Amino acid sequence: MPIPRLGVLAVLMVLVAACGRGDAGDRGHEARSPVDPAVVQTAAGAVRGTVEPDHRLFAGIPYAAPPIGPLRWRDPEPAPRWDGVRDATAFGSRCLQDLAGDLELGRQTDEDCLNLNVWTPAAEPGRPRAVMVWIHGGSFVAGSGGIYDARRLAARGDIVVVTLNYRLGAPGFLAHPSLGPPGEVGNYGLADQQAALRWVRDNIAAFGGDPGKVTVAGESAGAMSVCDHLVAPASQGLFDAAIIMSGPCQAQAPLPVAEQRSIEYAAALGCADKATAAECLRALPGNKLRTPVWFYEIGDDRLSGPATGSAELPADPVTAFGAGRAARVPVLIGTTRDEWTLFVALQHLRDGRDYTPEEYPRLLADTFGADARAVAGRYPLSAFPDVALAYAATVTDGILACPAERWARQLSRDASVYFYEFNDRNAPAPDPLRTLPFPVGASHSLELRYLFDVGGAPPPDPAQVRLGEQMVDHWAAFVRAGDPGWPGVDAGVMSLQPDGSRMVETFGEVHQCSFWAGLQ
């Protein structure tokens, strides 16, 4: 089944505001106090972070060498050592990305961006704390780890949280055959994530974390990355549990497709000669690489990101899940009730109009190909108040909700798996999403505000505050013990809602999963 535009997931930045601590400052050197809780010794050198009453933050720590010059489009190298105490009170540069529509204004972007942030509870523990490593979303073309303020997860959850940057767009995923041996090109962004996981293994104990209890987690493109790590050979043994939030795990490009599109991308930059393309590409100024490389086109929609059939990712995750070839670790996986309303909302905001009834058949054909007629019969316009909501329901159900539940059941054959649906259809949303002619409901990414401290939306009401506290408790419990505190997927789906979260058995009926299974 074709996948609709996931490149638009970069607009996650619309929904998550920057934390406001600014860019990384100059790296200072100063004497280290042996009892100073703001100073931690890493393998590469000491860092000085920020100590608040409820948490500590160590920001902008390099976990790999700058991927510049001859290291551009190569697997990450270890970070160089430094002398003295490195300032870690401000976030480092974001990875290179297209600045059109950028909402993290004032935050520097640079190829030298392989840094991470460590959030801990305020007090040193008597025992090591479990660790959650968070991979940001943004369609593999935008975003940064610095916009996810994890102080509540760390303090209330009593865990250590690591957020990270990884190479995006062309620097992260260009798969030009000249860049390396056959089958070993592309997926540099995934290799960065693996390097960050190795850094956690080697350094997190100094921050009070337990290197033997690491959960890799992410939302949207970050969740798709988690799916990849569950099956990538080099990721095995680097984590002990996984959290997949609204992850399009089926959206990778086959390596031949990624290679061909990368050849076309390079040619457009003046590097058409395959014999000299690698040298030509590595000599380009970084600003020439801000435009993403797109691997798929479906109508006006485009996809970028990881490629399968490569040394880094030999098999696509969905095939591996079905064959029982994923890492056998506990998994927390879920979706939001109205995933795709975000993207039809953004179409409305971008074009200043809604979809028309005449466009509905084309939308379905572009998205579902030969199955479009069957989908139109099951999701007739007469059943919805708006074309946008009709189309959003088809993608929510057919691309995200039902596949995620299927993957959960497949993974549960070999490990403990817990499934949830975020179901607050009045979740606080940014101003633009509250001006639409249709409701966005529990849309893609709106659950992030219940876990991370981010701005840009009205404050939650008391019931939503309680739901946020419960979600932090559930996520932290899973990180600590591999169990969020509700039954596994075989017993049903946990519906997370402000009037009382509960296990339900109607998920498949609501999202018409039997119909979608019949199209496989």
Please list the active-site residues: 220, 339, 444
Amino acid code (one letter) for 361: P
Alpha helices in 48-131 (DSSP H): none
Q: How far apart are CA 274 and CA 268, in angstroms?
A: 13
Q: How far apart are CA 300 and CA 280, in angstroms?
A: 30
Q: How far apart are CA 474 and CA 311, in angstroms?
A: 36
Would you say 224 and 139 are in contact if contact means Cβ atoms under 8 Å apart? no
Beta strands in 122-256 (DSSP E): 129-135, 160-164, 209-219, 241-245, 253-254
Strand partners, 39: 48
Overall size of the chain counted in residues: 520
What CA–CA distances, in Å, run from 152 to 17, 243, 326, 380, 468? Answer: 16, 18, 31, 43, 10
Helices 360-368 and 387-395 meet at what angle, rounded to 10?
10
Q: Which residues contact 409 (CB under 8 A, 6 or more apart)?
A: 417, 489, 490
> DSSP secondary structure string, 455-499?
-SSPPPPHHHHHHHHHHHHHHHHHHHHS--SS--GGG-EEEE-TT
Structure tokens at 89: 């009170």
Q: How far apart are CA 179 and CA 191, in angstroms?
A: 15
